Amino acid sequence: MQFNTDEFNQLIRMRRSIFPADYNGENVDDAIVQQMLENANWAPSHRFTEPWRFLIYTREGLKKLGEIQSTVYKNVTEKDGTFSEKKYLNLRDKPLSASHVIVVAMRRNAERSVPEIEEISAVACAVQNLYLTATAYGVACYWGTGGITYFEESKTAFGLEKEDKLMGFFYIGVPKKWPKPTKRGDITDKIEWIIN
C-alpha cells in the first residue's frame, strides 16, 4: 500500500460535525457530493446487501424537503398533542440553510439473510465514508437524527417500506471556517489487548 498514513490519520482527526449555522450559504459542487456518495457505496456490508439508500435534496429540492418534514411533523404531533409551532417552522426552514441534504435510509434486504443490526451498521459505515470524503474536500457536514427521523409516518414520505429504516439527515454546506478537532476519551479506557 502506498498511501500517506500520516495524512490519513490527520484526516480522521480533522473530521467534524459542522452545523448549518456554520455554513456560509454557498453551494457545494454536485460533483463533490457525487464523489461522497460513490465513496459511501464502498462501505462494507455482510453478504453484499449494500443496504444504504440516499435521497439527495438540493436547490428547489431543499424547499420540498422542508415541506415534507414539517408536514409529517404536523400530522403526527397534532394527533398526539405535542405540536410546537417553533419546531414546525424549524423543520420547514432548516434545509434551506444547507447546500445539500441527504436523507439516509436502510433498505432491508428482501431475503432477510442478514440480521437488521448488520444492515444498520453497514449504513453507518457508508455515512462515515460520506463524512471522511467531505473532510478531504473541506466540505462541512453533519448527521442529524432529530425531527421526524423516528416517526413511522416518515417512511412513506420518503418511499420506504415498513421494514426499512429512516436513519437521519446528512446536512452539507461550505464551512465559514473549519472548527478545531474535538476531544475523545482515552482509547486505553475502551480497549483490552489479550496477548496470551
Residue closer to ligand FMN, measured from CB, 55 or 132 = 132
Q: Which of residues 15-54 bind ligand FMN (CB under 6 A)?
A: 16-17
Nearer to ligand FMN, 84 or 145 (CB): 145
Q: Is position 88 an interface residue for ligand FMN (rule: CB under 6 A)?
A: no
H helix count then E strand count, the chain: 6, 4
Give the position of cell 465513496.
39
- 170 lines the binding site for ligand FMN (CB under 6 A): no
Total Cβ atoms within 10 A of residue 175: 18
Q: Cα 138 to chain center, whole Å?
A: 17
* Residue placing its CB nearer to ligand FMN in the complex, 182 or 196: 182
Within a 10 A sphere around the Cβ of 72, how many other Cβ atoms? 20
Q: Which of 2, 5, 182, 188 binds ligand FMN (CB under 6 A)?
A: 182
Least Å distance, CB 60 to ligand FMN, is 25
Q: Which is nearer to ligand FMN, 17 or 90 (CB)?
A: 17
Ramachandran sector of residue 154 (left: φ over 0; alpha: ψ -120 to 50; beta: rest):
alpha
Exactly one of 83, 143, 151, 158 binds ligand FMN (CB under 6 A); which one?
A: 143
From its phi and psi, is residue 47 left (phi > 0), alpha (psi between -120 and 50) or beta?
left
| Contact positions vs ligand FMN (CB under 6 A) | 16-17, 142-146, 168, 182
